[in-house]
Amino acid sequence: MSILEVSNIKKKFENTEVLKGISFDLEEGQSISIIGSSGSGKTTLLRCLNFLETPDEGTISVRGQKLFDASSPVTNPEELRKIRLHFGLVFQQFNLFPQYTALENVALAPMMAPDGKSKEEIYENSKVLLDSMGLSSRINNYPHQLSGGQQQRVAIARALALKPDILCFDEPTSALDPELTGEVLKVIKELALRHTTMIIVTHEMAFARDVADLAIFMDNGIVLEKGPAKELIDNPKEERTKQFLSRLST
């Protein structure tokens, strides 16, 4: 059974229909890249999956449990908080708390979770996560003392701290220069090798092809093409997909 089932997600902002019926499934341990032009609806889809936006239609299920049904949406803040825990989200702009160290940024959400873990356990796990990001020597540094790539790796560790079912990335390298982009992509590749279930909105086509199991090409609010990542990116079937990839290559 799929770990994630997305069915007929639609989202409108005033008179603009941004998502026009998005559906896809994802198996546990798989990674899926979502590609497409700016304005195609990629980020809005990711925000709907993380319940930062409320879809107008459709359903979202994780591990067979229906987390969202537009016919009876969850409005209770506590229930929303619980269902959001199924997803970890890494933003474009890091969004670290400037007044906290790297270690404190990672530990903050678990400290607020009512799961009975001690402060010592949470901080130890946070250190392990930062070490896995290559940041063991930076745990006491504040965000302004870290490079952009280091800040994004702290953000990835923070997203993993609550052990989400699915880790989501929204253009994780768009705010980085090419050198720093490489170190963040390396971390995501390592997560893929560990079979972390991931949804990656990205403009890095070589990365999308080599790391993801599946790829979706979105255009004007619909899934125009989907399939194995290497096949879709190397040999797209739809003319619009071909045009998009051709423009990137030139």
- Mind listing the pLDDT tens digit for each residue in 102-155? 999 999 989 887 676 889 999 999 999 999 999 999 999 999 999 999 999 999
Residues 168 and 245 reside in one and the same domain: yes
Confidence class of residue 199 from pLDDT cuts 50, 70 and 90? very high
58 and 21 fall within a common domain: yes
219 and 204, same domain (yes or no)? yes
Does pLDDT of 95 surpass 80? yes
CATH number at residue 198: 3.40.50.300
Number of domains comprising the chain: 2
Task: Give the residue numbers spanning the domain of 107.
Answer: 95-163
Mean of pLDDT values over 174-184: 86
Residue 154, pLDDT score: 96
- Closest by CA to 31, choosing from 4, 52, 64, is 4
Q: What's the mean per-residue pLDDT of the chain?
A: 93
Res. 220 pLDDT band, cuts 50 70 90: very high
Question: How confident is the model at residue 103, as a pLDDT?
Answer: 97
Segment 19-41 mean pLDDT: 95
**How confident is the model over 88-101, as a mean pLDDT?**
92
Q: Of 141, 163, 185, which one is at a domain's C-terminal end?
A: 163
- Is residue 158 within 8 A of residue 95, CB to CB? The reply is no
Are 36 and 42 a contacting pair, CB within 8 Å? Answer: yes
| Reported confidence tier of residue 80, pLDDT bands at 50, 70, 90 | confident
- Pair (170, 157) in one structural domain: no
Closest CA to 79 of 89, 68, 71: 68
Residue 94 in this model has a pLDDT that exceeds 90: no
Q: Taking residues 75-86, report their average pLDDT.
A: 87
pLDDT at residue number 250: 59
Q: Which residues have CB under 8 Å from 129's CB, separation 6+?
A: 106, 157, 160, 161
pLDDT at 29: 96
Tell whether the model's pLDDT for residue 247 goes beyond 90. no
Instruction: Name the least confident of 72-81, 120-129, 133-142, 191-200.
Output: 72-81
Residues 174 and 221 in one domain: yes
Task: Give residue 28's pLDDT.
Answer: 96
Same structural domain, 130 and 103: yes
Predicted confidence at residue 78, as pLDDT, reads 85
- The overall pTM is greater than 0.85: yes
Q: Does pLDDT of 191 surpass 80?
A: yes
Residues 60 and 178 in one domain: yes
Of 105, 137, 163, at which residue does a domain stop?
Answer: 163
